[in-house]
Amino acid sequence: MTATPLFPRKTTRQIRVGKVAVGGDAPVIVQSMTITKTADVEGTLQQIYALAAAGCDIVRCTCNDIDAAEGLAQIVPRSPVPIIADIHHQYKMALAALEAGVHGLRLNPGNIRKPEHIKAVASEARDRQVPIRIGVNGGSLDPALYEKYGGLTADAMVESAQTEMRYFEEVGFDLIKISVKASNVPLMVEAYRKLSAITDHPLHLGVTEAGPLPGGLVKATAGIAALLLEGIGDTIRFSLTADPVEEARAGRQLLEALGLRERKNVDLIACPSCGRAEIDVIDVANRAQAAFADKKLPLQIAVMGCVVNGPGEAREADLGLAAGNKRGHLFVKGRNVAVVPESEMVEALVDWATYIHEHGVEAALQRVDTTIAEREAARDRSAALDEQGDDANNASAKIVEIRRTVES
């Protein structure tokens, strides 16, 4: 099953960043940024390929000096995904990046403020049909806007974007996407809502400087997911203080969880464990996640710690495991197919998942005699109920006491 956004996705203008469509009816795309020196061509390409393998659709590289621009000229033709040049302060670096053949630019209106410089870049991008992201950032807003609004506000960030758009319009350039990022989640959400209400240009979502894991992941997800579920957003980036591959993975997983992108890898669901767990659920789930990390198996897999509720909770999964008597009961679409010892649980999940992906569910069910596995599962479930009782919480007696308390 896939999630449904709270609101229909807003229809925006569609642009193309190299071979990737952004906005309109295109899927929400994942972006990240390299942390290598762009002049290090081989090191940067290695990171770009790692990002692409993790689900990144577009990669941004800094272009802060001539060596970086020259590096981009070598990186662009060898990259598996479109490359965007990140530009700050020096507008001539944007012109150099365009000469290097990049597929897009990111300009920060907070530190490239001279109209003639902005228009020069926009004119060149127009002639080359290369899109530009207006990247407003709460940490580098034009000082004049800070003064006008008495600090960093959503209105100040939106006005920054509008001013940049007017410069672009003056030279007939409209291949635009926009971001209004802030490190404060409520402020970021407010700014994007206001921006979405006044423009149909595609929007790039992000919580800037979200920080290290796990807090940064929580902050970024809170802001990005809130907007995506309202139908706002065409591209996303998790700005984490971590390996950028973690950003790409997080972005891809978020879109898959929200039903906005087709699943490319395993969706592992697992119970939080409890006192009746028959195995170390946390250990098994972590080992399973590691085992599936690099396998392109678009399946939902459930790991449950007991056979009391496990089969029911895992019924909708493509493949599920419920533990009982220190062994695992494997389920394919709710049907028992095998019983394996605890030491072989992860290997069995990988084996069955691979088989299902290659041959389908029906073939997997025909692979074994499910009667034996179902009988073993029923036996273990019965043993668990006998041990804890059908009324493990002594609910009947509690109900009597509850009624006595209320009625007295």
* Domain range annotation of the chain: 15-257, 267-388
* pLDDT at 204 (0 to 100): 98
* pLDDT at 375 (0 to 100): 57
* pLDDT at 1 (0 to 100): 43
The amino acid present at 348, given as its one-letter code, is A
* pTM of structure: 0.85
* pLDDT at 386 (0 to 100): 59
Let me know if the fold of 15-257 is the same as that of 267-388: no
Two tokens, residue 63: 């272009």
CATH classification of 267-388, choosing from 3.40.50.80, 3.30.413.10, 3.20.20.150, 1.10.10.2160?
Answer: 3.30.413.10
CATH 3.20.20.20 fits 15-257, yes or no: yes
Flag residues of the chain having pLDDT under 70: 1-6, 307-309, 370-396, 408
**Dihedral sign for Cα atoms in the order 292, 20, 197, 86:** positive
